[in-house]
Amino acid sequence: MESPILAIENLTVAYRLQGVWLDAVREVSLSVNAAQTYGIVGESGSGKSTLVQAVMGYLSANGAVRQGKIHFEGEDWLNAPRRRREQIWGARLSMVPQDPLSALNPALTIGEQIAELVRRHAHLSRRAAHARAVEMLQRVKLPDPEGVARRYPHQISGGQQQRALIAMALASPELRLLVLDEPTTSLDVTTEAAILDLFAELQDSHRAATLFVTHNLGVVARMCQRVAVLYAGEVMEDAPTITLYSMALHPYTRLLLRAVPRIGDPRPLQAIPGRIPSLRQRPSGCVFAPRCAAAIELCHAQKPPLERAVEGHLVRCHRWREIAAGSLRLEEASAELKRREMQQAEIAFFEQLFSGEQNGAQATVMRADHVRVQYGVRGLLGRLLGQKPPFRAVDDVSMRVLRGKTLGLVGESGSGKTTFARSLIGLIAIESGEAHLLDMPLRGRPRQRAKATLKAMQMIFQHPEESLNPYRTIGQTLRRPLMTLSGMSRAEANRAAAELLRAVSLPADYLSRFPSELSGGEKQRVAIARAFAAQPALILCDEPVSSLDVSVQAAILNLLAQLQQQHQVAYLLISHDLAVVSYLADYIAVIYRGQLVERGTAESFFMPPHHPYTEALLASIPLPDPKARMRRIRLTDDQPSNIVPSGCRFHPRCPRYLGDICRTQAPPWQRDRQGGYYRCHIPPDELAALQTEPEG
Amino acid sequence: MRATARQRQTQPLQIVRLSMARRGRLLRRLWHDAPLSSIGALGVIGFLLLALIGPYLTPYNPTANSLSERNQPPSLAHPFGTDNFGRDILSRIIYGGRNIFALTGSATLIAVGLGLVIGLYVGYLGGWLDQIVMRLADALLALPSLLLTLVLLGALGNSRFTVLVAIVILYVPIVTRVVRSVVLDVKTKAYIEAAEIGGESRFHILFREIMPAVLPTLAVEGALRFSYAIFLVASLGFLGLGVARPEPDWGLMVSEARDWYALSPHILFFPSAAIVVLVVCVNLMADGLRRLLEYSEAD
């Protein structure tokens, strides 16, 4: 057996915070071989970034390796002198970071940056280095590599930036280890899929070992041969990917896999209660025990060892034998835990509080007709000063949202989905078209709107960090809408606020807390409570879970579903994540470049015919199942957003491009057999036939 | 364990609402990192106390001449000596400090208050109002401060009140600008949008939702303005403006002492030292405030 490229032995990394050393990574061992892709999965706070930094030798000044060894190609890497490290960095050890824009130097062209690296290690001439840079850009499949080499980072799209970074990381012919730190997290799904393809393809040629760090279980399933699951700084389970996904032995892994929404799977998500313990609060027993449904006394008292269950399958749990034998069923254990939680929630009181009122009885809660929204409208002065021309972010969108139902609006970044929601609620002006909420026109800024209109529509924002005022207690935040919109007295509002908290499963003593004392998931619960405070008929949910960890995300999605059932509120759920939308939505609409391209019921949505864009979206989602065979439909990179394509807006990227008709004529809406609508020149039967054909 | 961890996480920027323990912790850290800042703050407090209770401690009238005791060097009876009219310099410094605190303190407070309100409104409302107000502010900022004050003193008469008006006019645009920049940042946050959607009044949004975020920065800016105001008033006093003889005024004392410094340097030294020490102390205090905010933000 050949020796591993990277061997980490019993590594403990700690940070010094206010005079105390706190372990962020504890006793991690793993080894990565040549041509192997090793996945590190973990939620935020799991220590995966710290691990990456330790491997790269980039630990911050207050961090230090307290114990253990890292060998890189058999060489002691931790104690390597600076000079030696500089020889290895960029030559034999490279990294692709999460945020491409901040990793590139804005003052140098892409070509210069890659050439600089090549020259440093390969001692080539300026000209040869440039040629090598262009060659690398070509290898990462950037169209027009010569042109890209001449451009500055801000002049190319996010996907192209990431490609350029990959080119840089692979530029050295001696590359032995490639560290990928969430390389696709900041990208759209279609771009992500293309980048993952690229990795898979390049892996075959460069034969280097790869350490792939991510929180996305779908990405791991696609990319990695072996996975280590990290939780609170410790490896919980370490196994070949196929084994891990089919017969995980650790409760955390099992729950995590059940917490991911999957398309077409209506089963309730398995939320994991609680949150990752902070560095200061690491339990002395098993780190997962406080959140584990199957925890017994031993788990709290004693840290389980990392045991070898089968050859190549390591697990850190006291009860793995019972799990392996099937005598311990986690699903049942956690259902019991959940029942206990529900009783505490005393939902009945909450219902009683708000049962009196009905927000109109119509089936249609919100109706939007031909809504257009423009950004950057110039005044006369602006025009004279040469401001940029306005950009139409939403162009002719019509939709209906039914009472108590969820309409999922799916689109990638820049598609206009958030702008549309913001125009409904008055945070940006509607240029033309009409929108009505329960027959009340939606017009003007919130200030100009009637109380009843404001009351009937609320919004949940994407970033929980920003949606609560850090200077106001949770109580102050929740009381305001109750007093302003529902006209309660202070005392009534106080009581109702406590009930709201209870309804979102938070204890009432949170009323006196400040947002900084809450976790991201808890903040989002408070934001949900605030949205429900006014008893709206419609809530706009703008990416409500996209900034949350998988386990927390599941809990929030379940909460939204449960509250909807109780209060018959309608949701307009905006998300880039089709799996999230498919979990909650009754109806789904897809938006591309400001226009709807497909709409229909959630059941029929996942059956052909699809709009070609939807088809590409569906084919791009990394499924949390290593055996899943994906249809490979990849889109070319998007054009800059200020150029609006003629005819069908999707035609420059469309894999089913017909010809001139797509370029010149806007496609009509077509109705398929299941009652869904899509906007394409290809008739439904033909399209369905194309899409059900097995891949040749 | 849990409780202490919670306390550490308590919302940082509201120094007013912090627990005593946490306040103590922050102050100790400040003392450790930048002892000079703490000393500066103590110095300012010392000057303030002196201005408040000093007049009851000193046995001398600051304007009483005593021709028999002219130009006395420091002694037990007159710790800072006497000037060429035989007036006790310590008493004059104490009373002068009182005047300077009253004048610059009230002027700074008014300027900070006005700047806060204007900054909140123009920052939040934006649009043409913002454009007009900020261009006006630019125009005011373009004028040299001493020149503007001289013009005002000429137009409105040479009095302390005119100096106060001048300081307010000079500093409102500066404070407005600082407040506005914070507001521009805060108003894009989702919680402000949530308040708008919640049907909140403009007053509530400005003074309850946005203002708390402005206060920390404003405190630092206010302290800085205060030190500049002291400097300005001393400069004016040196030019004999804004004060009527024989009132004790630090700047005026320095100016008067010029003729005598070769003979009795202490007459020049003590008022000059008072100005320098106070201004340095206030600046150190402002720096300390800034550090405290950084700590609590970083926590």
Rg (alpha carbons) of chain A, rounded to whole number: 27
Contact A447 B13 (CB under 8 A): no
Domain ranges, ordered by start, for chain A: 6-231, 247-345, 364-588, 608-692
pLDDT at A350: 38
Contact A461 B193 (CB under 8 A): yes
pLDDT at B174: 93
A454 interaction partners in chain B (CB closer than 8 Å) = 197-199
Domain assignment present for B202: yes
Contact A454 B213 (CB under 8 A): no
Give the closest-approach CA distance of B196 to chain A in angstroms.
6
Q: What is the largest CA-CA distance in chain B?
A: 77
Range of the domain at B201: 44-54+88-298
> In chain B, which residues touch A (CB < 8 A)?
1-2, 5-6, 9-14, 189-200, 202, 204, 208-209, 212-213
Contact B199 A517 (CB under 8 A): no
- Cross-strand bridge partners of residue A375: A391
Contact B212 A425 (CB under 8 A): no
How far apart (Å, rounded) are the C-alpha atoms in residues B266 and B253?
A: 11
Report the residue from A278, A445, A470 with minimal CB separation from B5.
Answer: A278
Let me know if A632 is exposed, middle or buried by CB neighbors in 10 A (0-12, 13-18, 19+): exposed
Closest CA to A526 of B115, B14, B191: B191
Domain assignment present for B21: no
Contact B190 A485 (CB under 8 A): no
Q: What is the mean pLDDT of each run of 10 residues along chain A (696 residues)?
A: 83 85 89 90 86 88 88 88 88 87 88 89 87 89 86 84 88 87 83 84 82 89 90 91 88 86 75 78 86 85 88 89 79 55 41 40 78 75 68 85 89 85 87 85 84 88 87 89 87 89 85 83 89 89 85 85 87 89 89 88 82 86 75 69 77 83 84 83 83 60
B293 interaction partners in chain A (CB closer than 8 Å) = none
pLDDT at A362: 52
Predicted-complex ipTM score: 0.76
A280 and chain B: CB distance < 8 Å anywhere?
Answer: yes
Q: Provide DSSP, A546-584.
A: TTS-HHHHHHHHHHHHHHHHHH--EEEEEES-HHHHHHH
For A6-231, CATH number out of 3.30.499.10, 3.40.50.300, 3.30.70.120, 1.10.3720.10 equals: 3.40.50.300
Let me know if B285 is exposed, middle or buried by CB neighbors in 10 A (0-12, 13-18, 19+): buried
Contact B194 A514 (CB under 8 A): no
- Cross-strand bridge partners of residue A574: A409, A542
Contact A471 B11 (CB under 8 A): yes
Nearest CA in chain A to B190: A467
Domain assignment present for B33: no
Q: How many CA atoms lie within 13 A of B252 on its CB side?
A: 19
Q: What does the pLDDT look like over A106-162, one tens digit per residue?
A: 899 999 999 988 888 888 888 999 999 999 898 888 888 888 899 998 888 888 888
Q: Is the pLDDT of residue B93 over 90?
A: no
A427 and chain B: CB distance < 8 Å anywhere?
Answer: yes
A514 and chain B: CB distance < 8 Å anywhere?
Answer: yes
Contact B212 A515 (CB under 8 A): no
pLDDT at A349: 37
Report the residue from A281, A467, A480 with minimal CB separation from B190.
Answer: A467
A461 and chain B: CB distance < 8 Å anywhere?
Answer: yes
Report the residue from A281, A426, A458 with minimal CB separation from B5.
Answer: A281
For testing contact with chain A, the best of B191, B201, B218 (most A CBs within 10 A) = B191
The beta-strand segments (E) located in A323-438 are 364-375, 391-402, 406-410, 432-437
Cβ atoms < 10 Å from Cβ of A696: 3
Contact B196 A480 (CB under 8 A): no
Give the closest-approach CA distance of A449 to chain B in angstroms.
8
B12 interaction partners in chain A (CB closer than 8 Å) = 516
Domain assignment present for B191: yes
pLDDT at A640: 59
Contact A446 B10 (CB under 8 A): no
How far apart (Å, rounded) are the C-alpha atoms in residues A124 and A136?
A: 15
Q: Provide DSSP, B72-115.
A: PPS-SSSTT-B-TT--BHHHHHHHHHHHHHHHHHHHHHHHHHHH
A527 interaction partners in chain B (CB closer than 8 Å) = 194
**DSSP SS3 for A646:** coil
A278 and chain B: CB distance < 8 Å anywhere?
Answer: yes
State whether the Cα torsion A95-A98-A104-A110 is positive or negative: positive
**DSSP SS3 for A76:** strand
How far apart (Å, rounded) are the C-alpha atoms in residues B266 and B284?
A: 26
Torsion angle, alpha carbons of B231, B233, B234, B240, to 10: 150
Q: What does the pLDDT look like over B171-218, one tens digit per residue?
A: 999 999 999 999 999 988 889 999 988 888 899 999 989 998 888 889
Q: Does residue A18 contact residue A190 with C-beta atoms inside 8 Å?
A: no
Q: Quick one: A364-588 is in which CATH superfamily? A: P-loop containing nucleotide triphosphate hydrolases (3.40.50.300)
Question: Span B42-50, mean pLDDT?
Answer: 89
Contact B11 A466 (CB under 8 A): no
Domains A6-231 and A364-588 share a fold: yes
pLDDT at A346: 38
Is beta strand A177-181 parallel, antiparallel or unpaired with respect to A93-96? parallel
pTM above 0.80, yes or no: no
Contact B198 A468 (CB under 8 A): no
Output phi, psi for B279, to 5 deg. Answer: -65, -40
* CATH at B245: 1.10.3720.10
Q: Does residue A158 contact residue A100 with C-beta atoms inside 8 Å?
A: yes
Q: Which residues contact A27 (CB under 8 A, 6 or more apart)?
A: A10, A11, A12, A67, A68, A234, A235, A306
CA A573 vs CA A204, A417, A427, A541, A586: distances in Å: 40, 10, 17, 5, 10
Q: Does residue A459 contact residue A481 with C-beta atoms inside 8 Å?
A: no
Contact A484 B191 (CB under 8 A): no
Report the residue from A469, A470, A517 with minimal CB separation from B6.
Answer: A517
Q: Which residues contact B140 (CB under 8 A, 6 or more apart)?
A: B148, B169, B170, B173
Cβ atoms < 10 Å from Cβ of B45: 12
B11 interaction partners in chain A (CB closer than 8 Å) = 470-471, 514-517
CA A487 vs CA A63, A239, A407: distances in Å: 53, 57, 30
Task: State the total domains in chain B.
Answer: 1
Q: What does the pLDDT look like over B208-233, one tens digit per residue?
A: 899 988 888 898 899 889 999 988 88
- Cross-strand bridge partners of residue A75: A72
Report the residue from A459, A468, A515 with minimal CB separation from B197.
Answer: A459
